[in-house]
Structure 1
Amino acid sequence: MADRYLNFTGTAPGRFLTRRLGLPQPAQLHRWTPERPALDGALLHLTAGESGHTAELAGLLARTGPDVRAAAERPAAIVLDATAVTGIATLAEVHAALHPVARSVARSVAPSGRIVVLGAPLSRDDHHQAAAQQALEGFVRSLGKEIGRGRTVTLVRVEGPVAAAESTLRFLLSPKSAYVSGQVIEVAAGDTTAPADWARPLAGRTALVTGAARGIGEAVAEVLARDGARLILLDVPSAQADLEALAARLDATALPVDITSPDAAERITDAVPALDTLVHNAGITRDRTLARMPADRWATVLDVNLASVLTTTDALLESGTLSRGGRIVATASIAGLAGNAGQTNYAASKAGIAGLTRSLAPKALAEHGVTVNAVAPGFIETKMTAAVPLFIREAGRRMNSLGQGGLPVDVAETTAWLAHPASGAVNGQVVRVCGQSLLGA
């Protein structure tokens, strides 16, 4: 559904009126297109503390983003290496590095620009280091709410060589991360083998997307196909016509199966004996307050959104259908992180996805060589949100740092990053795709 307010604020009368009335002024976001695949401008590399990563990071940034400069006029992105921040004194260097940026942000960072802060894991032995590194989290989330004009701010905690963060930095320093802000992403050890072609990283890999016939699932399928994946598209038999039309367009295989059926995993294995990526996107809502929610409405949502994910994932891991080096990406929701009135069933199911992700991730990696991550969408412009009453819909759109709803492609781009063969160091993460919603952690 079109966001008329966003379109209006992009006009001269709209800018004048919203400034006079003190209303939000969301910016049109720069999303990835073949015509504009990169951010518009250079990349500025800054450091706080005496980092041991300076040379390695400089080489990495030269490969991942726009031209790197020691100083730049209005860069498209700023990367601040704060991995060496260990106390109040070095934390002051974070302020010294980014204070000038904040004072003249209109001249120092381009619209839809990026600020990425690199941090280190919190030490269990040095509480001064842990305090300073934890402080970066509050700093980044606050700056994300101040920076404006479609700019985003993210913290990446890197354990070990910064080379493990290459796929993550490529994502965050590109238009593909347009609706990801205020997040803390942890990068640890893992398989980060670079693909033969960064433009088509999923070439030769097979991906299954559930709930693929429309909405977010359709967008995920399109982005994975763009990145070179062979696709198996699954949805309920009632959506078969839409599913087959999408499969024909993407040269994919349609699999009309109810994911809650007892033989769902068996039918998936019959269709694709070896699978590299499993995207759990299928989901439903049956909203009512708990006082008015009968047991069947509760059970239906939990069966589709959570139980089917658990049983299918277990079966595909145990059978070996998911290949080593594989990726599981599940769909959570900020409703599961922050709660939402009238959605106790939906929120419970999506919080369950977050729990599944964090618990299964280390085990799946150790035993099967498979990573497990989740995306947690916020307000995304779909047919479902278009049916929300006007004032509630407008509140959902505006209650984030970017002042607008996201698009299905925003969730899809984040899913593709987590499915990337070089993203093996990203595991057990629940990444919100919500424009830094003002609700939830």
Structure 2
Amino acid sequence: MSNEIKVPTFPESVQEGTIATWHKQPGEAFARDEVIVDIETDKVVQEVPAPAAGVLKQILKEEGDIVVSNEVIAIFEEGDAAAAGAPTASAGDSASAATSGNDIIAAPAAKKLAEERGINLALVTGTGKAGRITKEDVANFTQPAAPAPAAAPAPAAKIAAPSAPVAEMTGERVEKRVPMTRLRAIIAERLLSATQSTAMLTTFNEVNMGPVMALRKQYKDQFEKTHNGTRLGFMGFFVKAAVEALRRIPAVNASIDANDIVYHGYQDIGVAVSTAKGLVVPVLRNVENMSIAEIENGVRDFGLRGRDGKISIDEMQGGTFTITNGGVFGSLLSTPILNPPQAAILGMHKIQERPMAVNGEVKILPMMYLALSYDHRIIDGKEAVQFLVAIKDMIEDPARILLEL
């Protein structure tokens, strides 16, 4: 019995997606819930599982094609018997799965791109399943340099000069052009929009991380044991400090809706997570009700699932405030860009030991620069500075976080 494979229903904020990768080709069998295709939206890469066991019969949307919610993208023959009796896919199974005239397996999008660029697929190394050539393999392929013409034999009395690399002899300057992924293109569009549509300003402060580091060193083993392996990091302290600071300065937790300012009576804090496909910002909901252990566990979960592309679209919706930590990559100071419609974003940075004047004496302290970028249309400079000072006071005296002082 023939059935359809459809695009999942996207949330209202996602209008369309792009076919990223087909994991199966016509003639190949699959089990129920096995991933058939990846669809890239402007937020995440969404995996589409098989609704039932069967054999893929026809692909209606190729890699790179634009699709919308509930659109039919493939036809498959349902049934375990059909799947069990299906022949193993090879170059001869279909014209769309292989190059004609040889046994090189290539994705349809890869074949199309190779034809456009005049690339011989026999020279391309496939990185896909069973050596299948993907579109990325073709896009990243560089044509080998043409062999140099044979030189006239040198006189016997002369010693042949050592051969030089082709690039040195010809002055060749290699370039590689790779199309932006949909996620990267949308990220670029939103970052540009944020700088053009907001009155963004950044204010800075610095914080002595010594007290938090000492507290973490003293209790990290007991904390991990008590909370079933959850590690005590710095993010939990900063998120809790941000919750209290947001309560004190409501404008930092607000957003603009047309001509209205919306003050949120809850704290949904987004935590920026770097992935191979770009930066994503999943949201911790109602952080005002979470413990440090719950925050640390949530942040760690986002990091692991972000690496594997498993964060859902719903988990990245909303958010009233964002925290990003460039310090994990070694950044000493930066100006983070707003995540509209949020009015502010906090940037953490690398902990760096520096000489500081303390009560008339010079001491070496582990210092971190903090940056708050904010929308000056609804947050005044005084409020932004007070917000950062509140964060600084709580981090330098962690007891204030617990006592909400």
Question: How high is the TM-score relative to the length of structure 2?
Answer: 0.17
Higher share in strand: 2
More helix by share: 1
Bigger radius of gyration, 1 or 2? 2
